[in-house]
Amino acid sequence: MGDQILAQYSRRMRFRKILDKVLPLILSVAVFIAVATVFSVLFTTIMTGWHRLSLNLILNYPSANPNEAGMRSAILGSIYTVGLSALICIPLSIATAIYLVEYSRGGRLASILSYNISNLAGVPSVIFGVVGLGFLAYWLGMGRTIITGAFTLAILILPLVTVTCVEALKTIPDDLRLGAYALGATTFQVVRRVVLPRALPMMLTGGILGISRALGEAAPILIVSGLLFIRDDPTSLFSRFTVIPLQLFNWVSRPQPAFIELSSAGIIVLLIILFALNGLTIALRQVLARRAEWA
Amino acid sequence: MTATIQHEALRKAIQRKRIQDRFFHITFLSATFVSTISLIVIYVTLGLESFNFFAHVSIVEFLTSTKWTVLFADKNFGVLPLLNATVMTSLIAIAVAGPLGVMIALFLSEYVSSTTRSVVKPVVETLAGIPTVVYGYFALYFITPNLLRTLWTNIQIHNALAVGLMIGILIIPIVASISDDAMKAVPADLRLAAYAVGSRKSDVALRVVFPAALSGVSASIILAFARAMGETMIAAIAGGFRSVLTFNIGEAMETMTAYIAQVATGDAPHGTIEYQSLFAVGLFLLLITAVLNYIGIKVVKRWAIRY
């Protein structure tokens, strides 16, 4: 009887011992799968598309001939739309963050408003496109234009950028604020002279994060703008437009292999832009770290 | 005499600063309202256009009919095929992202040094940063022909399985990072107490940290599911625009989001029933994801209070 329990116990201990050795291996397989996916996506895209990389791709307009086709109008459309959306979104986000962290100090109104920011973050991106089309383009009569696309993207990235700006303000130690208040500063003076200069680099990181998100979004722009074949540069904010991910979607949907290669090349261009933006945030973060050493 | 003038000037300067402060207070407060107003605009726009839609279509038909042929001459308005496709692809996605995400979180929070962690975490988060058009393209031209075709020879070129797999990859970072936060929040005391009674590292990870973080982990899965339901481009590129009620994941299916994309790629003039159907489907999708997000956030909050 005792022997039996002992045997059972030692069997269980042996199993535990093996499990203890094997578990980190099993878990690291999951990490490996994730990392391998990133690399295989990048690898296959580059292998398929690199020989289509050329200046034509950037300088030419879309064309039915894959050897001449480029995404000039899409690149310009992306720059206009995303640039404008950043100009709308970043000041709004900074102002919102300042209100929530510096002015409200956690009142009831502030908690409702910030709860709605997280609600907005949960809205699927395609819904922003549907509302951009229904509300901005038709009800407000802005048309399916660059400015409608820009406002749609601005509201789409607003929660993301705002949350980063709030985090940025929260990293500023309270001592600095209290010191300024003790000298009789108003809240606005504290914000402008003490808090904002220190939080700005991290806020810009949030802004760039939002820009990269907006650059990759195809769904809302597809709804707002439709799938267009545009062969001229945008002339005003009320021009019809297309963006890089939409041009890629267009090429991906065609059956000819040449267009698949072209879309891979386009993806490489888009990913290079995104990685460059990512590098910029890392550089900003380093500036931030150096600043922190001085403080 | 000069003293009173100085005093007067100072009083005015302070007054000015106060007014300036009040002005910016109001400016910043109005900026904060933008998110809330946007949210209201979203619901009102979807609601009013859906109202137009439901003037032509009965809600009962919308929710119970098994045919969705809005873009054909003979129109049927049953959302079930779209809902089914959305749920199927999202379930596949969770079957991928749930286990992988939780395993990654456990690995990052329990097994690696902070330096390794700071390298691995950004790479994992890159998965969410790649534009979804790229995933759709990858699913259609690499996953289906090279991987799925070898295992399942008569799978269709456009199929729900490849869509679900790629959405799963996309949402791994959501599961991993929220679960990781939950595991990090488990107090060190619990781990130390477990070690004190002779636990091994694997016991601590599986029997202490994982159960203690379980509400955070479930919240991460709910939130990731909501994100999966809203994914559009992967479903539009690799799913095929075929709105048929089927449970065969090897066939083409049309999710709610893919339908919205399909209407946008085609021609749906303002005011037609096709145009209005965008808003009805959009509202339906939004309500489902809003409920899921609400539950998810509630669960996160509950776990946050516990320690």
One CATH from 3.20.20.70, 3.40.50.1100, 3.40.47.10, 1.10.3720.10 for B80-306: 1.10.3720.10
**Contact list, A14 vs chain B (CB under 8 Å):** none
- Model pLDDT for residues A139-157, shown as the tens digit of each residue: 999 989 999 999 999 999 9
- pLDDT, residue B54, reads 93
Task: Find the CB nearest A186 among B21, B136, B237.
Answer: B21
Interface of B with A in 264-293 (CB under 8 A): 264-265, 270, 278-279, 282, 285-286, 289-290, 293
**What pLDDT, on the 0 to 100 scale, is given for residue A1?**
61
Q: Specify whether the CB–CB gap between A94 and B33 falls below 8 A.
A: no
Residue A233's pLDDT is what? 85
pLDDT in tens, B49-99: 999 999 988 999 999 888 888 888 888 889 999 999 999 999 999 999 999
What pLDDT, in 10s, does the model give residues A198-225?
A: 898 889 989 999 999 999 999 999 999 9
Please write the tens of the pLDDT for every residue from A154-177: 999 999 999 999 999 999 999 999
Q: Mean pLDDT throughout A229-250?
A: 89
What is the structure's pLDDT at A132? 95
| B32 inside 8 A of chain A by CB | yes
Q: Do A186 and B17 touch (CB under 8 A)?
A: yes
Contact A27 B264 (CB under 8 A): no
From the list B214, B223, B213, the residue with the least C-alpha distance to B90 is B223
Contact check, Cβ <8 Å, A155/B20 = no
Per-residue confidence (pLDDT) for residue A60, from 0 to 100: 87
Q: Which residues of chain B from 58 to 117 reach within 8 Å of chain A, CB to CB?
A: 99-100, 103-104, 106-108, 111
Chain B contacts in chain A segment 107-166 (CB below 8 A): 110, 112-113, 116-120, 122-131, 133-135, 138-139, 155, 158-159, 162
Determine the pLDDT at residue B1: 54
Answer yes or no: do A17 and B200 touch at CB < 8 A.
yes
**Does the pLDDT of residue A294 top 80, yes or no?**
no
**Dmax (CA) of chain B:** 99
> For residue B299, what pLDDT is reported?
83
Close Cβ partners of A119 (under 8 Å, ≥ 6 residues apart): B39, B290, B293
Closest B-chain CA to A247: B133
Residue A53 sits at φ, ψ, to 5 deg, of -70, 125
- Tokens 């208040």 locate to A181
Closest Cα of chain B to A122: distance in Å?
7
Q: Which residues of A32-56 are buried (b: 16+ CB within 10 A; e: fewer)?
A: eebbebbeebbebbeebbeebbeeb
In this prediction, residue B119 carries a pLDDT of 85
A chain contacts of residue B111, beta-carbon cutoff 8 Å: 24, 27-28
The answer to whether A215 touches A82, Cβ cutoff 8 Å, is yes
User: What is the C-alpha radius of gyration for chain A, rounded to an integer number of angstroms?
Assistant: 25
Note the pLDDT of residue B128. Answer: 85
Measured torsion, CA atoms of residues B32, B37, B42, B44, in degrees rounded to the nearest 10: 160
pLDDT at position A55, please? 86
**Residue B306: predicted pLDDT:** 58
**pLDDT for the residue numbered A195:** 92
> What's residue B133's pLDDT?
92
ipTM for this prediction = 0.91
Give per-residue pLDDT as tens, A116-138: 999 999 999 999 999 999 999 99
Scanning B220-249 for CB atoms below 8 A from A yields 223, 226-227, 229-233, 236-237
SS (H, E, C) chain A: CHHHHHHHHHHHHHHHHHHHHHHHHHHHHHHHHHHHHHHHHHHHHHHHHHHHCCHHHHHCCCCCCCCCCCCHHHHHHHHHHHHHHHHHHHHHHHHHHHHHHHHCCCCHHHHHHHHHHHHHHCCCHHHHHHHHHHHHHHHCCCCCCHHHHHHHHHHHHHHHHHHHHHHHHHCCCHHHHHHHHHCCCCHHHHHHHHHHHHHHHHHHHHHHHHHHHHHHCCHHHHHHHCCCCCCCCCCCCCCCCCCHHHHHHHHHCCCCHHHHHHHHHHHHHHHHHHHHHHHHHHHHHHHHHHHHHHC
Nearest CB to B200 within list A16, A44, A110: A16
What average pLDDT is seen over chain B? 90
Chosen for mutation from A19, A31, A156 (greatest number of chain B CBs closer than 10 Å) is A31
Q: How many residues does chain B have?
A: 307
Helices A257-294 and A244-252, axial angle in degrees (round to 10): 150
Can you give the pTM of this predicted structure?
Answer: 0.91
Q: Please tell me the predicted confidence (pLDDT) of residue A289.
A: 67
Q: Which CATH architecture has domain A56-294?
A: Orthogonal Bundle (1.10)
The answer to whether residues A53 and A268 touch, using CB atoms and an 8 Å cutoff, is: yes
- B-contacting residues in A 59-98 (Cβ below 8 Å): 91-92, 95-96, 98
What is the per-residue pLDDT across A259-280, written as a single tens digit (0 to 9) for each? 989 999 999 999 999 989 988 8
pLDDT < 50 stretches in chain B: 305
Distance from CA of A4 to the nearest CA of B (A): 22
pLDDT digits (tens, 9 = 90+) for A12-62: 888 888 888 899 999 999 999 988 988 999 999 999 888 888 888 888 888
- Provide the pLDDT confidence category of residue A291 given band limits of 50, 70 and 90: low
B51 close contact with A: CB closer than 8 A: no
User: Smallest CA–CA separation between A184 and chain B, in Å?
Assistant: 10
Bridge partners, residue B245, by sequence? none
